[in-house]
Structure 1
Amino acid sequence: MRSSDPTYPLFPIFAFFGFILPLIPLQWHLAAWNSGTCYFMIWASLASLNQFVNSIVWADNVTNWAPWWCEISIRIQIGASVAVPASCMCIQRRLYQIASVQAASVTPAEKRRAVLVDSLICLLFPLCFITLQYVVQGHRFNIYENIGCAPAIYNTLLSYFINFMWPIIIGLISAFYCVLTLRAFHRRRLEFSQFLSSNQSLTISRYFRLMALATTEICCTTPLAIAVLCLCATSEPIEPWRSWSDTHYQYSRIVQVPALIWRSNEMLVASYETSRWITVLCPLVFFCFFGFVHEARKHHRALFNAALKRLGYQQPPLPPQKDPS
């Protein structure tokens, strides 16, 4: 039977690679104490895994197969919606500190302090954000055919302050850091080059790749967050916040929406499809920036050789180099 999703099975394939590929260079980013980058990789990979499972389990059906998974899934989506932009903000913040030739975690104490600050922004803040969503969550969750589990955020004015505005605010802060970084780099090119030459964990090439990654994320997620906010504000009336009991009336219900219904609304189709494709393309873009550099190729080769060894294959030794003399 032909699937009602025109992107199936292409989307699950991209989502699976979006889950696996960003984790490959995780080890050497951990070794370099690049905490913002590590959080970006983990959250982006987790969000892609979530999309992969949803697109497989709810392909051409809205059956409530696994309520426990949907409870987890919607919280991953909510957390990643601010954690990925927050990780990029931490990357931009660190790049600005380096470009302005401030102390950029050169001692163990400074490194630990930087990791702690990044953890508060990229881990504690998303967890608090997930917890706050219960205030404006109208019922347990929705299930959209071919999309899967989705949060059920009640379209009340309070939702715009608790939910919709934070990805935009984080994106604007990141953009502000980006402008400061470019200005600082332009003013202190010589000191910047001297600093990087003495920093073993960050090369000029890696610096500009991080800059390109963070800027790309700003250009993608911030406009999307603004579009989602505008769609929610215009697609249906914004209800006033009446009371806790009114918002959570019949909270245990689950809304199941067939593709025939939600695909009949072009605005909804554009919003859902753009959101989930950006979710899986984000980690793939990261891999394009960092998956083919020299350090990454060495790790890929080591992983490949380790896998061959476990399967009983031994890589033949390299031929001896001839003496040019």
Structure 2
Amino acid sequence: MPPYVPPNSALSASAFIGSVVSMAPFYWHVRAGNVGTCLFMFWTSLSCLNLFINSRIWDGNTRDVAHVWCDISSRVLVAQNVAIPASILCITRRLYKLTVTTVINKRREAYIDLGIGLGIPILEVLLYCIVQGHRYNLFEDVGCWPVVYDTLPAFGLVFAWPLVIAVISATYGLCGFYRFVRHGREVRALVFADKAKRGRYIRLILIAGCDILGTIPLSIYDLYSDSLFVSPWISWEYVHSGFSEVNEVPASLWHTSPDMAFGIQMTQWVTVACAFVFFTLFGIFSQGAIDQYQHFYELAQARFASSTPSAQYVLASSTSSSIPDDVISFPGP
């Protein structure tokens, strides 16, 4: 029996909404200097937007009508494979450091986070070119898809990175948890000194934990699946022969292939789930986010209201809005 594939319109709508809502708290997290959280929002939103555009252009067809876009889109898919786990690594690493010290060099830590959250995905895209079998594939209802020549070097260059990053993130998380258990009073004094920000820390821990618990088993499954069809590495010329080829795969084919359908849908829906989980934790249950929504609503209302003293007061107070109380502005120079 073929696997169930949700309607393409469901993915399109979910991906578009996900690309918008995952960026909702971006402004005040930038102001607070939370680089890891901002990177997570950026990559999640970009990945959802990429899925949305592809699902609309290739809805019900496999016409190769956008060569340059597919070159870019397929590489975004490669980058997101490590970018979202790398962003979580930035968050777990920062949370661990907060259990160790109260003084953090914010500029240096920001550079390190950017190196992890942007540098690793860019490096992954460059390494992907080594084992890129041909230009890209086109799946009906899905769009552009990267092509990795399944050979032994591909495991070290592409396939294993999400698992390695997730394991490092889990290590930081476990070390932080150990310090919390072993030095509970001291760590609580460092991390939970400000009660208004306690929920913020808990939400960061939850989203990091969800990502780690999801990435590790899925990455192991991917490695297992890829290991079943390993081809020998012969030469660069052999791997890249016929590089300009574009395979067009109709929905009737990939819908009826359990492995192919699972792999495609897992990539799509896990990305969308990341956006909604983040928005649920930081855009709905965050009191700071709710306060900011109220601020922006009052600002918009004042823009369109008649020029009265009360409207001018609301406009002035909204324009000078501060960082929400439950958004962490990490200590240090």
Provide the TM-score with structure 2 as the length reference: 0.86
Deviation at 1:141, TM superposition (A): 0.4
Deviation at 1:313, TM superposition (A): 4.7
For residue 114 of structure 2, the aligned residue among 99, 113, 119 is: 119
Counterpart contact for 1:308–1:314, Cα < 8 Å: no
Counterpart contact for 2:5–2:255, Cα < 8 Å: no
- Following superposition of structure 1 onto structure 2, how do residues 1-325 of structure 1 map, counting pairs within 5 Å? 6-99=6-99, 101-105=100-104, 110-196=105-191, 203-234=197-228, 237-292=229-284, 293-309=286-302, 312-313=304-305
Q: What is the identity, as a one-letter code, of the residue corresponding to 1:95?
A: L
Deviation at 1:300, TM superposition (A): 1.6
2:274 partner SS? helix
Q: What is the identity, as a one-letter code, of the residue corresponding to 1:11?
A: L
1:150-209 residue CA offsets vs partner (Å, 9 max, x unmatched): 001111111111000000101111111111111111122222232245569x82211111
Deviation at 1:139, TM superposition (A): 0.6
Q: What is the identity, as a one-letter code, of the residue corresponding to 1:192?
A: V
C-alpha spacing 1:284/1:242, structure 2 compared with 1 (3 Å): same
- Residue 323 of structure 2 aligns with which residue? none
State the alpha-carbon separation in 2 of the partners of residues 313 and 10 from structure 1: 38
Q: What is the identity, as a one-letter code, of the residue corresponding to 2:157?
A: I
Counterpart contact for 1:62–1:257, Cα < 8 Å: yes
Task: Name whichever of 301-310 and 258-267 sits farther off.
Answer: 301-310
Deviation at 1:281, TM superposition (A): 1.0
C-alpha spacing 1:308/1:219, structure 2 compared with 1 (3 Å): same
Q: What is the identity, as a one-letter code, of the residue corresponding to 1:42?
A: F
Task: Report % sequence identity.
Answer: 35
C-alpha spacing 1:104/1:63, structure 2 compared with 1 (3 Å): farther
C-alpha spacing 1:104/1:168, structure 2 compared with 1 (3 Å): farther
Deviation at 1:287, TM superposition (A): 0.7
Task: Name whichever of 258-267 and 187-196 sits farther off.
Answer: 187-196
Q: Which runs of 4+ in 1 moved over 6 A?
A: 314-318
Q: What is the identity, as a one-letter code, of the residue corresponding to 2:171?
A: F
State the alpha-carbon separation in 1 of the partners of residues 213 and 60 from structure 2: 32
1:255 partner SS? strand
Alignment RMSD (CA, Å): 2.2
State the alpha-carbon separation in 1 of the partners of residues 206 and 224 from structure 2: 27
1:284-304 residue CA offsets vs partner (Å, 9 max, x unmatched): 101111112111012222333
**Structure 2 residues not aligned, in runs of 5+:** 312-333
**Structure 1 residues not aligned, in runs of 5+:** 319-325
Q: What is the identity, as a one-letter code, of the residue corresponding to 1:190?
A: R
Q: What is the identity, as a one-letter code, of the residue corresponding to 1:144?
A: F
Q: What is the identity, as a one-letter code, of the residue corresponding to 2:173?
A: C
Counterpart contact for 1:136–1:154, Cα < 8 Å: yes
Counterpart contact for 1:139–1:152, Cα < 8 Å: yes
- Residue 316 of structure 2 aligns with which residue? none
2:144 partner SS? strand
Task: Name whichever of 239-248 and 24-33 sits farther off.
Answer: 24-33
C-alpha spacing 1:32/1:161, structure 2 compared with 1 (3 Å): same
Provide the TM-score with structure 1 as the length reference: 0.89
State the alpha-carbon separation in 2 of the partners of residues 223 and 115 from structure 1: 30
Counterpart contact for 1:24–1:300, Cα < 8 Å: no
C-alpha spacing 1:171/1:315, structure 2 compared with 1 (3 Å): farther
1:238-297 residue CA offsets vs partner (Å, 9 max, x unmatched): 111111100100101111100111112111111111111001110110111111211101
